[in-house]
C-alpha cells in the first residue's frame, strides 16, 4: 500500500519496519505473513490541546509495541473535516485500519470518511482482500462512545486493542434531509434542547466536561418545548406534543457521560429513540442523576422505543428552526430522517 500518498491531505509520518509475522489472533486477516498498514488520525487541538500533547508522549510506546508488526502512518489534521479526507484516502489506498486519536468529534469525522455520496468507500488496490477497520484511541473531552464499551481514556489499553486486532461489524446511523446529503453518526443523534445545548457547549470546550453544563444553562434561556410530527419505520405520521428533547442512540452515552439511550446497542441493527416531553428546567435539576445513571426511562413524560428509522418535522411554526446534532456536531435544523445502517463498519474491539 502506498501510504505516502496520504500526504496530500495531512502532515503524515510513516514508520516502516522489517517484515514480521502479523499478530496471530487478528480476526478477518487475509494473510498471516503481511504487515498491517495502520493510519492514526490525530486531532492535535482536541481537548483544548491535550490530545496533541498526549499523542506526542504516546508515539515512542506505539512504535515499540506495533512497529515490528505494522506500518504506522501518523496523519495530523489541520482543521474541520480534514479527518474525513484522510480516512477516505487511506481506505482507497488499502489501509488495514484507520484509528481515530481524540474525542467523539474526531471519531465522528473518521466514521464519515468511511462513506462517500451515500455509499461505502472501497479500496482501489486490486490485490486487496481485506476491508479497512475503524479503531479508536480515546483522548478527547467527552469520549462518550468509548463509554458504551467500558473503555477508559487509557491510550496504552487502546493500543493493546489495536495490537490484538479483534474485529466485529457495528452499526452506524445516517441522517438525511431536504438536501439529500448523507451524514453518518456512530454514537447519538439528538434534537431540540439537547442539540442546542451541544451547539453552545462546543464554544466552551476549553473548560473540559464543564462545557456541557455551561451549554445546557445557555440553551435553557428562552427554551420552549415544541410539537413535532414524527413517523417511525416509514409508517403513518403522528403528532408528538411538547417535545423537550428527542435522542436517537446507536450507543448509550452523550454529553460527557449522560446515559441517555441506555438500551442502545451498536450490534443490534436498531436505533433506540428516547423522547422527553413537557420537561421544565426544574425537572432536569431533580432528575439529572437519573439521566446520568440511565434510570430515567421510568420517569413521567419519558418514553423509548427501538426503530429502524425515524423522521421528524417541525410543526411549531415558531421560526428559528429546531436544532439537530449527532456525536456532538451541529447539523442544522429539521426536517430530518435518521436511519440505521446495519453492520456498516468493521471495528477494532
Mean pLDDT of 280-284: 90
Residue of 96, 104, 144, 171 marked active site:
104
Task: Kindly report the average pLDDT of the chain as a whole number.
Answer: 88
pLDDT score, position 33: 54
pLDDT score, position 153: 85
Residue 7 confidence (pLDDT) above 70: no
Mean pLDDT of 105-109: 96
Lowest average pLDDT, out of 203-217, 268-282, 284-298, 314-328, goes to 203-217
Residue 21 confidence (pLDDT) above 50: no
Is residue 47 left, alpha or beta, with left meaning phi > 0 and alpha meaning psi from -120 to 50? left
pLDDT score, position 215: 85
Instruction: Report which of 270, 272, 263 is spatially closest to residue 342, judged by C-alpha positions.
Output: 270
Distance CA 243, CA 229 (A): 10
Q: What is the DSSP letter of 74?
A: E
Please state the three-class secondary structure of 297-341 as a single string.
HHCCCEEEEEECEEEEEECCCCCCCCEEEECCEEEEECCEEEEEE
Mean pLDDT of 143-156: 94
pLDDT confidence tier of residue 20, bands split at 50, 70 and 90? very low
pLDDT score, position 254: 94
Distance CA 194, CA 130 (A): 39
Residue 173 confidence (pLDDT) above 60: yes
Higher pLDDT, 255 or 145: 145
pLDDT confidence tier of residue 202, bands split at 50, 70 and 90? confident
Domain edges within the chain: 35-165, 182-341
| 104 catalytic residue (yes or no) | yes
Instruction: Report which of 252, 253, 327 is spatially closest to residue 102, judged by C-alpha positions.
Output: 327
Name the burial class of residue 286, with classes exposed (0-12), middle (13-18) and buried (19+) by CB atoms within 10 angstroms of its CB.
Answer: exposed
φ and ψ of 136, to 5 deg:
-145, 130
Residue 266 confidence (pLDDT) above 80: yes
Question: In angstroms, what CA-CA distances link 293 with 16, 144, 191, 334?
Answer: 45, 14, 21, 29
The SS3 of residue 119 is strand
Distance CA 102, CA 90 (A): 18
Distance CA 188, CA 325 (A): 8
Helix then strand count (H, E) for the chain reads 8, 18
Q: Which pTM does this prediction carry?
A: 0.88
pLDDT score, position 203: 83
Are the C-beta atoms of residues 55 and 100 closer than 8 Å to each other?
Answer: no
Residue 139 confidence (pLDDT) above 50: yes
Residue 27 confidence (pLDDT) above 50: no
Instruction: Report which of 109, 108, 135, 142 is spatially closest to residue 259, judged by C-alpha positions.
Output: 142
Residue 297 confidence (pLDDT) above 70: yes
pLDDT in tens, 48-61: 889 999 999 999 99
Strands (DSSP E) found in 194-335: 226-232, 238-249, 271-277, 302-307, 309-314, 323-326, 329-333
Distance CA 52, CA 101 (A): 9
Among the ranges 30-39, 72-81, 192-201, 318-327, which has the highest mean pLDDT value?
Answer: 72-81
Instruction: Report which of 19, 74, 251, 56 is spatially closest to residue 145, judged by C-alpha positions.
Output: 251
Q: Please say whether the dihedral angle defined by the alpha carbons of residues 217, 218, 220 and 225, taken in this order, is positive or negative.
A: negative
Mean pLDDT of 290-313: 97
Instruction: Report which of 103, 110, 107 is spatially closest to residue 47, judged by C-alpha positions.
Output: 103
pLDDT confidence tier of residue 14, bands split at 50, 70 and 90? low
Instruction: Report which of 188, 303, 198 is spatially closest to residue 253, judged by C-alpha positions.
Output: 188
Question: Among 3.30.360.10, 3.40.50.620, 3.40.640.10, 3.40.50.10330, what is the CATH number of 35-165?
Answer: 3.40.50.10330
Are the C-beta atoms of residues 9 and 86 closer than 8 Å to each other?
Answer: yes
Residue 181 confidence (pLDDT) above 80: yes
Give CB contacts under 8 A, 24+ apart, made by 199-208: 199/323, 199/325, 199/330, 201/255, 201/328, 202/328, 202/330, 205/47, 205/48, 205/141, 206/48, 208/47, 208/48, 208/141
Are the C-beta atoms of residues 101 and 139 closer than 8 Å to each other?
Answer: yes
The SS3 of residue 112 is helix
CB hemisphere CA count around 234 (13 angstroms): 3
Mean pLDDT of 229-235: 98
pLDDT confidence tier of residue 35, bands split at 50, 70 and 90? confident
Instruction: Report which of 303, 311, 263 is spatially closest to residue 279, judged by C-alpha positions.
Output: 303
**182-341: CATH architecture:** Sandwich (2.60)
pLDDT score, position 198: 87
Mean pLDDT of 324-336: 94
Amino acid at each position: 500500500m502506498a501510504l505516502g500518498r496520504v500526504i496530500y491531505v495531512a502532515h503524515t509520518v510513516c514508520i516502516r519496519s522489517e517484515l514480521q509475522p502479523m499478530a496471530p489472533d487478528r480476526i478477518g486477516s487475509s494473510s498471516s505473513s503481511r504487515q498491517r498498514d495502520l493510519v492514526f488520525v490525530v486531532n492535535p487541538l482536541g481537548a483544548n490541546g491535550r490530545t496533541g500533547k498526549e499523542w506526542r508522549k504516546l508515539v515512542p510506546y506505539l512504535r515499540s509495541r506495533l512497529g515490528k508488526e505494522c506500518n504506522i502512518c501518523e496523519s495530523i489534521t489541520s482543521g474541520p473535516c480534514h479527518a474525513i479526507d484522510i480516512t477516505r484516502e487511506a481506505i482507497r489506498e488499502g489501509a488495514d485500519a484507520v484509528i481515530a486519536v481524540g474525542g467523539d468529534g474526531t471519531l465522528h469525522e473518521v466514521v464519515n470518511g468511511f462513506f462517500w455520496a451515500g455509499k461505502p468507500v472501497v479500496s482501489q488496490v486490486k490485490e486487496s482482500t481485506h476491508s479497512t477497520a475503524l479503531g479508536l484511541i480515546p483522548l478527547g473531552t467527552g469520549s462518550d462512545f468509548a463509554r458504551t464499551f467500558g473503555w477508559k481514556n487509557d491510550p496504552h489499553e487502546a493500543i493493546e486493542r489495536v495490537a490484538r486486532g479483534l474485529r466485529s461489524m457495528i452499526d452506524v446511523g445516517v441522517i438525511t434531509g431536504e438536501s439529500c446529503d448523507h451524514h453518518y453518526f456512530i454514537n447519538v443523534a439528538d434534537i431540540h434542547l439537547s442539540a442546542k445545548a451541544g451547539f453552545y457547549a462546543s464554544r466552551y470546550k476549553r473548560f473540559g466536561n464543564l462545557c456541557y453544563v455551561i451549554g445546557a444553562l445557555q440553551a435553557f434561556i428562552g427554551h420552549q418545548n415544541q410539537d413535532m410530527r414524527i413517523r417511525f419505520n416509514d409508517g403513518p405520521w403522528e403528532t408528538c406534543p411538547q417535545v423537550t428533547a428527542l435522542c436517537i442512540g446507536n450507543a448509550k452515552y452523550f454529553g460527557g457521560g449522560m446515559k441517555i439511550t441506555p438500551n442502545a446497542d451498536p450490534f443490534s441493527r436498531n436505533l433506540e429513540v428516547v423522547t422527553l416531553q413537557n420537561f421544565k428546567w426544574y425537572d432536569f435539576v431533580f432528575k439529572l442523576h437519573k439521566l446520568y445513571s440511565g434510570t430515567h426511562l421510568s420517569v413521567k413524560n419519558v418514553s423509548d422505543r427501538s426503530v429502524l428509522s425515524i423522521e421528524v418535522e417541525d410543526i411549531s411554526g415558531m421560526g428559528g428552526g429546531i436544532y439537530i446534532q449527532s456525536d456532538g456536531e451541529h447539523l442544522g435544523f429539521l426536517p430530518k430522517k435518521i436511519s440505521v445502517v446495519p453492520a456498516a463498519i468493521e471495528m477494532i474491539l
